[in-house]
Amino acid sequence: MAATTYDRPPVRLQTHPTHYKHWKLSVSPDGEIATLTMAVDPQGGERDGYELKLNSYDIGVDVELNDAVQRIRFEHPQVKAVVLTGGLDRVFCAGANIVMLRSSSHAFKVNFCKYTNETRLGLEDASRRSGIKFLAALNGTASGGGYELALACDEILLVDDRNSAVSFPEVPLLGVLPGTGGLTRITDKRMIRRDRCDVFSTIAEGIKGKRAVEWNLVDGLLPLSKWKEGVAERAKALAAKATTRKHEPVQLEAIEPECTPIAHGEKYTYTYVSVELDHATRVAKLTVTAPATCAQTRAEAVAQGTAWWIMRAMRELDDAVCRLRFNHLDIALVLVRCTGSAATLHTTDALLAGEDHGFVGEVQHLVRRVLKRVDLSAKSFYAVADGGTVWVGSFLEILLACDRSFVLVDDDAAVQFGITAANSGLYPMSNELSRLATRFLGTPDKVGQVLAAGTSFDAATADELGLATYAPDAIDWDDELRLAIEERCAFSPDALTGMEANLRFPGPETMETKIFGRLSAWQNWIFQRPNAVGARGALQCYGTPNRPEFDHLRT
């Protein structure tokens, strides 16, 4: 079997508050204010070789943060505001650990930046969609990714102790970018003047005190003597603005697949998702299955909680996609099949579309976030609509998230398609358009035609509607699919990553599309340049007696 862990052990993507090494989650007695305290264990890195000093972080810290935010949304529905603060004296967060980055592979660095950006967008999604307000209480200096985390919050308070500052030191010290999300948020979200952004992003020591407020880098200052009371007061004010969510707490159980060896690879088996990995061909087969029976009413769905099949399936899909990203870099192409009960999909999508808030609403938000994770993954995805597959509603959204769709047109091999409320914009992409609107950007009339196609139609109709990239008959199916797979896996993975990132988000540019477009292009490129990672590059020289040496030719 080909090695799949490369320069590091597999990333662990599942955790629980009882296993947190780096965060402490607490909820106030009245249930309205949650506090996430960052107290990173210096010796608790995901691998050996670096120490997480000054609340610097690696992927394990962000996995815990992602888990904590999901638990607040599902397990603590009474929470209206979340305070993020540091557990160290005079330090909020020093950002991504430099030695960790320096000693990681290029692919890991880029995937790490992508995951951290997705986690920060998760905070903003919780604010926008669930009405939970986030307050960054910077009890000390916030540098790089630490300040990026603060920028993802609704408001930022900085302690006024004549020492604590906010900073983006990556350009002057490391020769890389502030995670790309950082630059986008200070321009697009906080709308700071370009010249001030330019200055701020090139001052390694950062900006503090009144100037930080004047430049809109933070929303307010609090003296150390009034820090605790001031943060509590501001958190209560934010909670008063929050949207009320109504549902019973739902405990998130662990999502761990069974892993079994198969020829040339291994197979991950979840409840509703399976992934077969073939390292010899660099192809994965991912299957999502809808059960024969499901909750018929909102009350039944709520009673099932995390056992509700759509919630379980999407959490499994999310875990599988992240595993493919981090732990199986050799996999070039993912062949996606969706199977199971069309009736289950119709019933489930109707329930999801009918709830804006509460538990069902939170599940709807989860589905949207997981589909975005597919959109943003640096893997090629082909939907394989052969006999027995079902592409109805939410499963049709999975097909539309793929780079190509191969649809078998054969009377003897039933392929089911169908439209539900899920296809009418329930799960917008990062460009804020539905997947149908994105697919038919140049022919918008097609969107209405597809939506009017009805609850059930066959492969030939799907092809006529433009849902198929290729629609071979049974005679040509095997050869066309085989050649398409072999061709894709023969291309340069670097070229494919850039191509896919450019093609997946036509139409309006948003903060999200900017973040991930820049991550796939600029940060991907910069992380390979000698000025950053060469023997005398800035990232390599940081923390050593050596000064970086740059190739000063502009490109």
Cβ burial, residue 203 (10 Å; 0-12/13-18/19+): middle
Q: How far apart are CA 349 and CA 363, in angstroms?
A: 11
Domains 18-241 and 258-496 are alike in CATH topology: yes
| Residue reference for tokens 């980055």 | 101
In whole angstroms, give the CA distance from residue 388 to residue 378.
28
pLDDT band at 7; cut points 50, 70, 90: low
pLDDT, tens digit (0-9, with 9 covering 90-100), for 324-363: 999 999 999 999 999 999 999 999 999 999 866 689 999 9
- Which tens digit of pLDDT belongs to each residue from 194-236? 999 999 999 999 999 999 999 999 999 999 999 999 999 999 9
What is the structure's pLDDT at 355?
67
Q: Is the pLDDT of residue 431 over 50?
A: yes
Pick the range with the lowest mean pLDDT from 4-13, 75-84, 147-156, 383-392: 4-13
pLDDT over 70, % of the chain: 98
Tens of pLDDT, residue by residue over 170-200, are 999 999 988 779 999 999 999 999 999 999 9
What phi and psi, each to the nearest 5 degrees, are found at residue 208?
Answer: -135, 175
**Over 70: is that where the pLDDT of 489 sits?**
yes
| CATH superfamily of domain region 18-241 | 2-enoyl-CoA Hydratase; Chain A, domain 1 (3.90.226.10)
| Residue boundaries of the structural domains of the chain | 18-241, 258-496
Give CA–CA dist 184/153, Å, rounded.
14
User: Looking at residue 3, what is its pLDDT?
Assistant: 39
Q: How far is CA 276 from CA 265, 289, 314, 337, 484, in A?
A: 8, 14, 18, 12, 19
Q: In 3D, which of 95, 131, 121, 103 has the Cα closest to residue 361?
A: 131
- Whether residue 388 has pLDDT greater than 80: yes
Find the helix packing angle between 106-130 and 309-327, rounded to 10°: 150
Confidence of residue 518 (pLDDT cuts 50, 70, 90): confident
Q: Is the distance from CB of 207 to CB of 166 less than 8 angstroms?
A: yes
Can you tell me the mean pLDDT for 58-77?
97
Angle between the N-to-C axes of helices 106-130 and 59-75, in degrees from 0 to 180, rounded to the nearest 10: 20
User: What architecture does CATH give domain 258-496?
Assistant: Alpha-Beta Complex (3.90)
d(CA 116, CA 181): 9
Angle at the Cα of 451 from the Cα atoms of 446 and 457, rounded to 5 degrees: 105
Q: Measured between alpha carbons, how far apart are the two ends of the chain, in Å?
A: 41
Query: CA-CA distance, 246 to 232, in Å (whole number)?
Result: 24
Quote the pLDDT of residue 8: 65
| Rounded alpha-carbon distances, angstroms, from residue 371 to 367, 379, 429 | 6, 14, 8
Q: What is the mean pLDDT of the chain?
A: 94
Mean pLDDT over residues 42-54, rounded?
95
Q: What is the pLDDT of residues 436-485, one digit of tens each?
A: 999 999 999 999 999 999 999 999 999 999 999 999 999 999 999 999 99
Q: Is 376 helix (H, G, I), strand (E, B) or coil?
A: coil
- Secondary structure of residue 547 in the 3-state scheme: coil
Give the other-Cβ count within 10 Å of 306's Cβ. Answer: 16
Contact status, residue 493 vs residue 332, Cβ threshold 8 Å: yes
| Residues in CB range of 441: below 8 A, 6 or more apart | 433, 506, 507
123's CB contacts (< 8 A; 6+ apart) are 69, 134, 152, 153
- Name every residue whose Cβ is closer than 8 Å to that of residue 260 and which is 6 or more positions away in sequence: 266, 267, 269
Q: Which two tokens stand for residue 315?
A: 């959490």
